[in-house]
Structure 1
Amino acid sequence: MKKFLILFLIAGVGVAWASTTGGGLPWESPLQTIKASITGPVAFVMSIFAIIGAGAGLIWGGEFSGFIKTLFYIVLVIALVVGATNLINIFNTSGALI
């Protein structure tokens, strides 16, 4: 058992020395594209329209079913999150400042 442990440690050190840092993961580029789409100016304008539309639907839509009202709430929350993200970007901050 001790021989296998020593062999594993020697092989592990060789793999660790062969690794590189800062290469980036393969899914980072598509995620950056999605982030740019969500935080762009078109998404900000669409979020404003969604807030207005969902708000108007909730105010004047007294006869909608519970499912439709839930969809309005979901649209409203998503629009507020996208709008808040763009509002935070206006102030050049990217999260909590400690």
Structure 2
Amino acid sequence: MKKIFTKRNAVFLASFLMLLRSKTVYAASSGGGGSLPWETPLQTVMQSMDGPVAYAVSIIGIVAAGATLIWGGEVSEFTRRIVYLVLIIALVALATSVYSSLFSNGAVFF
């Protein structure tokens, strides 16, 4: 005799019941009052990444990170990874700034 109520059948039954009970959920629109609280600060950061201040800060960051790696002497592995992180962030900011100065539309963030 075959069991009808197995774990697998219980999972399928529970999934089917949840599917029947679910209601349609609509995504919030970007207009009106549906924006998330962190969208405005992120938009501000994205707009400031292509200005002259970002260009200057990224050049300073590249020089400082390069000097630390060249003349840093005995730095710990953690410090070296932080310096690499600063170097990568500075290069990304520099690339964004250079791209926006070469082309009028700036870098596109997805």
Q: Deviations over 1:2-51 (max 9, x none)?
A: xxxxxxxxxx9xxxxxxxx8837624543321212222211110110000
The percentage of counterpart residues that share the same residue type is: 45
Q: What amino acid maps onto 1:88 in structure 2?
A: Y
Q: How does 1:75-86 map to 2 (within 5 A)?
A: 75-86=86-97
CA contact (8 A) 2:49 2:93 kept: yes
In 2, the alpha carbon distance for the partners of 1:95 and 1:45 equals 17
Secondary structure at the residue paired with 1:84? helix
In 1, the alpha carbon distance for the partners of 2:81 and 2:30 equals 44
RMSD of aligned Cα (Å): 2.6
| Residue ranges of structure 2 left out of the alignment (5+ in a row) | 1-23
Q: How does 1:54-69 map to 2 (within 5 A)?
A: 54-69=65-80
TM-score (norm 1): 0.65
Q: What amino acid maps onto 1:85 in structure 2?
A: T
In 2, the alpha carbon distance for the partners of 1:53 and 1:37 equals 21
In 2, the alpha carbon distance for the partners of 1:23 and 1:66 equals 46
Secondary structure at the residue paired with 1:68? helix
1:26 aligns with 2:35: yes
1:89 aligns with 2:100: yes
**Greater RCO (Cα-Cα under 8 Å, separation 6 or more):** 1
In 2, the alpha carbon distance for the partners of 1:70 and 1:23 equals 41
Q: Deviations over 1:53-85 (max 9, x none)?
A: 000000011211111111110000000000000
In 2, the alpha carbon distance for the partners of 1:69 and 1:22 equals 41
